[in-house]
Amino acid sequence: MTERTRRLSRRNFLLTVGAGGAATAAAFMARNSGSNSQGKDKKRATRGYQASEHVSNYYRTTKV
């Protein structure tokens, strides 16, 4: 094998790996975007900051 042939085959291998990774990421995103549209509102209501007794107690104890 010549140096040029080795370089080209390495280059093709890296190109194939990159394209395969991009295709996998696209398939993963397409699969997840369809399933999240139904239960998105329920998850939004329970996510985020919630002022509970525990949190209020923490803020009370940090006052100087």
State the DSSP string of 17-55.
HHHHHHHHHHHHHHHHHHHHHHHHHHHHHH-S----HHH
**33-42: string of b/e by CB count within 10 Å (b at 16+)?**
eeeeeeeeee
Give the pLDDT score at 54.
Answer: 92
Q: What pLDDT shows up at residue 40?
A: 59
Can you give the residue range of the structural domain that contains 43? 3-62
Higher pLDDT among residues 30 and 4, named by residue:
30
pTM of the model: 0.41
The number of domains in the chain is 1
